[in-house]
Amino acid sequence: MTPFGQRMRELRAERGLTQQQQAEQLGVSKAYISALETGNRGRPSAPFVDQICAWLGLIWDDAEELKTLAAISHPKPVVDASGTHPRRSRLPIFLPRILKISIGMLASA
């Protein structure tokens, strides 16, 4: 979960609202809202964060906090593989998948 996703979930829950309500009001799917909250989607656009702030009724410091969290929330690491051998340049692509599978196997053990 990213800091943005966690805070968005907290703000929504504090107001007694559901992901479905948020999705309908913002014109996106419930799956997209869920993916933002869990960090399975990339950083939302600034205009979309503004929509979220307006929908939640956030002003001043609360709105700025959510915007800042959105700006720093990257669910996926970025690895610069420039200058590496072509075979080795694919490692950053597969390593997160390998780690995710390994962690899943450890968690279920």
Domain ranges for the chain, please list them: 3-72, 77-109
**Summary mean pLDDT of the chain:** 87
Intra-chain end-to-end CA distance of the chain, in Å: 22
Evaluate whether 4 touches 69 at the Cβ level (below 8 Å). yes
Q: Is a pLDDT exceeding 70 seen at residue 77? A: no
Q: What is the pLDDT of residue 23?
A: 96
Q: Which of 22, 14, 16, 66 is nearest to 44 (CA)?
A: 66
Residue labelled with tokens 């593989």:
81
Rounded to an integer, the average pLDDT of 84-89 is 72
CATH topology (fold) of 3-72: 434 Repressor (Amino-terminal Domain) (1.10.260)
Q: What is the pLDDT of residue 78?
A: 63
Evaluate whether 7 touches 65 at the Cβ level (below 8 Å). yes
Give the whole-angstrom CA distance, residue 12 versus residue 52.
10
